[in-house]
Structure 1
Amino acid sequence: MGEQAFDSMKTQQSVSNKVVANQYVQCIANAITQHVPNSVFAGEWELVVFDEPQVNAFALPGGKIGVYTGLMGVATTQAQLAAVIGHEVGHVIAEHGNERMSSSALINVGLEVTNQLLKTNQIASSSLLMAGLGLGVQVGVQLPFSRTHESEADLIGLELMARAGFDPRESVTLWENMAKASGDNRQAELLSTHPLPATRISNLSKNMDNAMLFYIAATTKPKCG
């Protein structure tokens, strides 16, 4: 389903042909995915840079990563972008898409739809299934990952970026940038499925000492530009 959803997005959204931007993001993604367990995905990850203004990125089961050019204005260094990619890959490692797909809400609402789509091999056309994979915003269905999933992915991503040789302290700077970019125009956390930037910064900071140990021990320090 992740592969079909990704193929569908490549036909529906503008794909960047800017060589420098693609090489830059690919360099970061390669460094991160080298530290993904083979039990999660053992093949070569496919990366696509979408030439869209969204400040967003995603990763899908089956080794797929999408990054939007709008993100570059907020994730201004390679380490900050590594924090985002690590976070998104963290969702895949933790199988959050699987959990969303099997949640009671999706079962109650979409079981029959799921069965029919699986039979007809039209998986990528279902906004419900796309939302279950974490792509709800892109397809107009507000079904993003929960606060718990987001916090878990933050910490997985923190470790991934540190192991890959990116300074994990930049993850805090990233969320400071995110807060500035949003103009602090955020609804109350209890009414949101995503933690507030301040909450994410606090959680990341609490786990920074351990991440720094991985960073110091990293045998390579990427220079992606």
Structure 2
Amino acid sequence: MLTQAKREFIEFMMSADVLRFGNFVTKSGRNTPYFVNTGNYRTGKQLATLGKFYARLIHETLGDQFDAMFGPAYKGIPLAAVTASTLAQEYDLDKPYFFNRKEEKDHGEGGSFVGYKPVDGDRIILVEDVITAGTAVREVMPQIMSCGDVKVTDMFISVNRCEVGKDGEKTAVMEVKEQFGIDVHAIVTVQDIHEYLKEDPKYADVLAHMEQYMAQYCRF
């Protein structure tokens, strides 16, 4: 269902040139008529707005039933930071966050993580921009689990493209749930974007290409 909050987020992405329409090629080599480039968020106001959307989704989904937030390097780092700040400011929910280094530091405090140090019994959530193949999750899960007896239960992302992997059967979200038991929650899905575009006749051509692409690669 296309709620007002989802509509606002789609318009926010479009205004920031993050959600784009045209002819693009994904990392997997697919020709797609729509593309999400979160690297185009580049101002303080945009980051603050993004934090509000993430914080609201986390609060509505989990309340205070988690112990820490993890942001995978690199795009997950500012997301985790601004989301933690927004949760504290708007919901009086002061939760710690941490992130990983791409290369382990061998001097100073050392280690692979920066920020909070997980302890046994922690329930950790992941904050990321998008999930395409689930590569980032597979890379960081062994590191997080090495911290002790912790659980990673949920992951929050901007957009779920709902696309199958190379096997053509399961989406990355399905695979992450199956392999790690992590529930993935998106602010919007490709279906929401599709519903939004249907409201404006000027997107008729985009819709035609989008529907063809979704029929070939998406699973719901």
Q: State the TM-score bracket (shorter-chain normalisation).
A: under 0.3
- Relative to total residues, which structure has the larger strand share, 1 or 2? 2
Question: RCO (CA 8 Å, sep 6+): is it higher in 1 or 2?
Answer: 1
Q: Give the TM-score taking structure 2 as reference length.
A: 0.27
Q: Could you tell me the TM-score, scaled by structure 1's length?
A: 0.26
Q: Per residue, is there more helix in 1 or in 2? A: 1
